[in-house]
């Protein structure tokens, strides 16, 4: 497989510092992932992505000053995979309505995080082969 050594860039947008810290720790445990940036302020994260910051995977909270669902719609073409995170399972339907690639319920366990990331990596590799 030609992408076996590929690394995947990640961005986190979440207004809860504790959530960012957990996701940062999980990313650090997966050798294929590189954390580019994290944003506590959703507007700053949105501006960075719209300004050209490229990410393979965006971890995006929903309940912030500006809805993560709105951000997902605005940056859908700038990132390969959007993984919505929320403390409310009922938000899953809304996440998929904005074409999110995956949904993680907080608190996020490492095993679930790893499985979700691996699914996105397989999807990205498959998409690049089929182009």
The predicted pLDDT at position 4 comes to 62
Q: Does the structure show a pLDDT above 50 at 91?
A: yes
Q: Does the structure show a pLDDT above 90 at 127?
A: no
**pTM for this prediction:** 0.93
Q: Does the structure show a pLDDT above 50 at 3?
A: yes
Q: Which pair of tokens denotes residue 93?
A: 């339907």
For residue 46, give the nearest of 68, 24, 29 by alpha carbon: 68
Q: Does the structure show a pLDDT above 50 at 2?
A: no
Tens of pLDDT along 39-58? 999 999 999 999 999 999 99
Query: Domains in the chain, start-ordered, CATH in brackets?
Result: 8-130 (3.40.50.2300)
The predicted pLDDT at position 25 comes to 98
Backbone angles phi, psi at 48, to 5 degrees: -65, -45
């Amino acid at each position: 497989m030609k992408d076996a050594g590929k690394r995947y860039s990640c961005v986190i947008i979440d207004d809860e510092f504790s959530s960012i810290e957990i996701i940062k720790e999980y990313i650090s445990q997966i050798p294929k992932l590189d954390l580019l940036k994290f944003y506590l302020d959703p507007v700053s994260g949105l501006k960075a992505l719209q300004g050209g910051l490229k990410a393979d995977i965006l971890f995006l909270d929903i309940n912030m000053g500006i809805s993560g669902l709105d951000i997902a719609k605005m940056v859908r073409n700038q990132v390969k995979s959007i993984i919505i995170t929320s403390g409310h399972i009922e938000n899953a339907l809304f996440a998929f309505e904005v074409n999110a690639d995956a949904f993680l319920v907080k608190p996020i366990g490492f095993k679930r995080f790893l499985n979700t990331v691996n699914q996105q990596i397989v999807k990205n590799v498959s998409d690049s082969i089929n182009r």
